[in-house]
Structure 1
Amino acid sequence: MDNHLLMVLKPACLPIVPDSSGDESLLDQARAWVKKEYSKPGNVFLGVVHRLDRPVSGVVCFARTSKAASRLSEAWRSNTVFKTYQGLGVGDVLEDSGHLTQWLIKDRERNVVRVVTAETTGAKKAETKWKILRREKGKVLFELIPVTGRAHQLRLAAATLGAPLEGDIKYGATKALPDRSIALHAGELEVPHPTKDDRVAVKAVAPF
């Protein structure tokens, strides 16, 4: 952390921002930590510049100033952020690595994303680089690198490759995990620093 950004580790099943559940959010916790750590009077500003799905764990970046929020948001829009995920899939994948291109469309009412043809109205292109890090007992450990940033694209990629992520019943898993998490972890996040000619990278080990 510095005066411009804050990197934190999000546990699975904690929402990044307050939602209809009323549960405490990562944003709430991060604000409380900054307020206590730096004896900040009044409200603490933290800008949300990206999201992780609630069931997913991993590294999250918050902006500490409005200028940083604007510049970091632009970094996400211009695709100058580097992200690497690990995912534990149930099943087998014949190849060891690849580059998967799909066309996706989101059903906002059901919060489900479907794979469609490129000609489908509203379809968005999703590209994912992937490789198998480990194989054991009917499971594979993926490294997943999103070239694009589409909703649920990594979850769909794992399912398309034949090994849905453990616990991800929305996209092919046969059973949920006890805590309703899914085995997907944002293990590395690298962003351009909002005020310096430098990049900031943070890694966090996957919990599976």
Structure 2
Amino acid sequence: MVPILYEDKDIIVVHKPAGLESQSSRGFAPDMVSEIRRYLHNPQDIHRPAAGISGSQPPYVGVIHRLDKPVEGVMVYAKNQKSAAALSAALQDGKMEKFYMAVICGQLVDKQGVYVDYLRQDRKNNTSEIVDKSVKDAKKAALKYREMEVIHSPEDKEKMLSLIDIELLTGRHHQIRVQFAGHGTPLYGDGRYGGDISTIVDIKKEPAAVRRPLALCACHLAFLHPVTGEKLVFEIRPSGGAFNWFSVIG
């Protein structure tokens, strides 16, 4: 079972590992919703169904936000419809604090700043791209970034890698990956948007792309409890992969 960071009768906060879908998967592969439902079947007092709900029904698991399959991070799920509605409204109103850490290929021009772009999602190919504001279906995407540490890549001393702290101000499809790639510094291990820069160690020695784990972690989530109104803050440290190369993580 995935690590549980917090649970009460209304919500459950988990540490989603990389490699799991954050919502129900279409096939037979494991996903977060199925894993949480399996956990909620555990015969504990807190898991007893509310009055009027049959114990034979699968536990309610409301998906509030999403993380890409290769991304690890903190996620909150609702255990009833009332909480789901309140959390979804908070998300839409920009009242959820979401911070990420990422390893990018290269070095930023400015040590901190804001990226504001317009993205268009291609649902057919499950990708997004930066487009002009005037393009149909273009949506504003904004984030704040801050450089935390810069190192020479252990795989190629001539290349630089940067550890970045990111505050996500909007929640667009593949937003962080698309924006950093569009500004010339793709995320390490991003085979979809990074191209050769983030997936090949040395194209002369390794002509075939060598896949690396995507270096992106949703490390901080804060929101008001949907029932009590108490502010809840949850943080994790990125684990494994390129993150281990940086002293501020280790």
Considering the TM-score relative to the shorter chain, is it more than 0.5? yes
Q: 2:138 aligns with which of 119, 123, 128?
A: 123
Sequence identity (%): 29
Count of residues in correspondence between the two structures: 207
User: TM-score, length-normalised on structure 2?
Assistant: 0.78
Structure 2 match to 1:66: 81
Letter paired with 1:151: H
Higher relative contact order (CA 8 A, sep 6+): 1
CA distance in 1, matches of 2:36, 2:26: 19
Aligned-residue CA RMSD (Å) = 1.7
User: TM-score, length-normalised on structure 1?
Assistant: 0.93
Q: What's the CA shift for 1:51?
A: 0.7
1:167 aligns with 2:153: no
Q: What's the CA shift for 1:128?
A: 0.7
CA distance in 1, matches of 2:20, 2:192: 18
**Structure 2, unpaired ranges of 5+:** 1-6, 49-54, 153-159, 200-208, 244-250
Structure 2 match to 1:187: 219
177 and 22 in structure 1: CA distance in 2 versus 1, 3 angstrom threshold: farther
SS at the partner of 1:16?
coil
CA distance in 2, matches of 1:37, 1:201: 28
Q: What's the CA shift for 1:162?
A: 2.5
37 and 142 in structure 1: CA distance in 2 versus 1, 3 angstrom threshold: farther
SS at the partner of 1:59?
strand
Q: What's the CA shift for 1:167?
A: 1.2
Structure 1 match to 2:8: 2
Q: What's the CA shift for 1:88?
A: 0.8
Q: What's the CA shift for 1:16?
A: 1.6
Question: Who wins on radius of gyration, i.e. which is larger?
Answer: 2
Letter paired with 2:224: P
The answer to whether the 8 Å contact 1:34/1:44 transfers is yes
Q: How does 1:1-208 map to 2 (within 5 A)?
A: 1-36=7-42, 38=44, 40=48, 41-42=55-56, 43-137=58-152, 138-174=160-196, 175=199, 178=211, 181-207=213-239, 208=243
Q: What's the CA shift for 1:133?
A: 0.8
